[in-house]
Amino acid sequence: MATLAVEGDELHLQLSTWEKIGAFHSDIRVPTDSVAAVDVATVPRSTVRGMRSPGTGLPGVVALGTWRYRGGPDFIAVYRNRPSVVVTLRNQPFTRLIVSVDDPDAVAAEIRRAIPSAAA
Tens-digit pLDDT profile for residues 49-68:
888 899 998 888 999 999 99
Residue 120 maps to a domain = no
Instruction: Quote the number of domains for the chain.
Output: 1
**Which pLDDT value is given to residue 45?**
74
* 67-100 pLDDT, tens digit each: 999 889 999 999 988 999 999 999 999 999 999 9
Query: Which residues touch 72 (CB under 8 Å, ≥6 apart)?
Result: 94, 95, 96
Alpha helices in the chain (DSSP H): 17-23, 104-114
Sign of CA dihedral 90, 77, 66, 8: positive
Range of the domain at 77: 3-114
Q: Determine the pLDDT at residue 44.
A: 76
Going from the C-alpha of 11 to that of each of 3, 38, 40, 101, the distances in angstroms are 10, 12, 16, 14
119 lies in a domain? Answer: no
Give start and end residues of each alpha helix (H) in 24-103.
Answer: none
Contact between 74 and 98 under an 8 Å Cβ cutoff? The reply is yes
Query: How far is 21 from 99, CA to CA, in rounded Å?
Result: 16
89 in any annotated domain: yes
